[in-house]
Amino acid sequence: MAKVKTYNLEGAETGSIDLSDDVFAETASPDLMYQVVRVAQNNQRQPLAHVKDRSEVRGGGRKPWRQKGTGRARHGSIRSPIWRGGGATFGPRKENITKLSIPTKMRKKAIKAVLSERVKDSKLIIIDDLAKLAKPSTKKISSFLSKMKLVSKKVLFLSDEGLEHAILSLRNIQRTKSIRLENINIIDLMSFGTIIISRDSVEKLTEQLS
């Protein structure tokens, strides 16, 4: 069972906490990590390229000329794909972006593996008194990051109910990001080198991932 130091907002060490091996002593193969990241990145895609087909292009409601007798080829609409200004055939469509899925057990295993790596590297910082922050204070959080030598480092804050003041305090600090525990994801965990979490939230996170 891993033992991690806890700190207060002054940057002083206040004790330690035992972390569950079920969550914070996990390992995962590179293949599993690749699959989970690939699915997450694919599902984050915001499709932009989108062309109109012949049913969406403006105009073309009237048959351009009669079917027979003109000597020209027959046509039913000037918005046919073979006409200039007509609809596109087999072009990119927003609805063609396929969402991928992955078993929950695999996703959780990958997340636990990243958290375990952060614990191993002493990159998981647990704060005792985040909930006691009376009002948003960027100055206080910046001071804490400075004392922990995290200035200009990429820091991810795993927030929870009752920590709104802490969330607002981080908002104007560069290279930091706050996400709710229920929105924890592999992309953010791997993108940020250091993770900050409240002591009260550790138990909830452990229960969520067990």
pLDDT tens string, the chain, 210 residues long: the values are 788 999 999 989 999 999 999 999 999 999 999 999 999 999 988 888 999 999 999 998 899 999 999 999 999 999 999 999 999 999 998 887 788 999 999 999 999 999 999 999 999 999 998 888 889 999 999 999 999 999 989 999 999 888 899 999 989 999 999 999 999 999 999 999 999 999 989 999 999 998
| Residue-wise DSSP of 94-158 | GGGPPPP---HHHHHHHHHHHHHHHHHTT-EEEES-GGG--S--HHHHHHHHHHTT-TTS-EEEE
What pLDDT is attached to residue 50? Answer: 92
What global pTM score does this model have?
0.81
For residue 182, give the DSSP letter: G
CB 204 within 8 A of CB 181: yes
CB 39 within 8 A of CB 33: no
Domain architecture of the chain: domains with CATH: 2-45+101-209 (3.40.1370.10), 46-96 (no CATH)
What pLDDT is attached to residue 161? Answer: 84
The answer for 159, left when phi > 0, alpha when psi is -120 to 50, beta otherwise, is beta
What pLDDT is attached to residue 52? Answer: 95
What pLDDT is attached to residue 133? Answer: 85
CB 97 within 8 A of CB 45: yes
Separation of alpha carbons 162 and 37, rounded Å: 30
Burial label, 144 (beta-carbon count in 10 A; 0-12, 13-18, 19+) = buried
Q: In which element (H, E) is residue 207 found?
A: helix 199-209
What pLDDT is attached to residue 96? Answer: 72
How many CA atoms are closer than 13 Å to the CA of 1, on its beta-carbon side? 6
CB 208 within 8 A of CB 181: yes
The residues, ordered by sequence, that sit 6+ positions from 50 with a Cβ below 8 Å of its Cβ are: 92, 93, 94
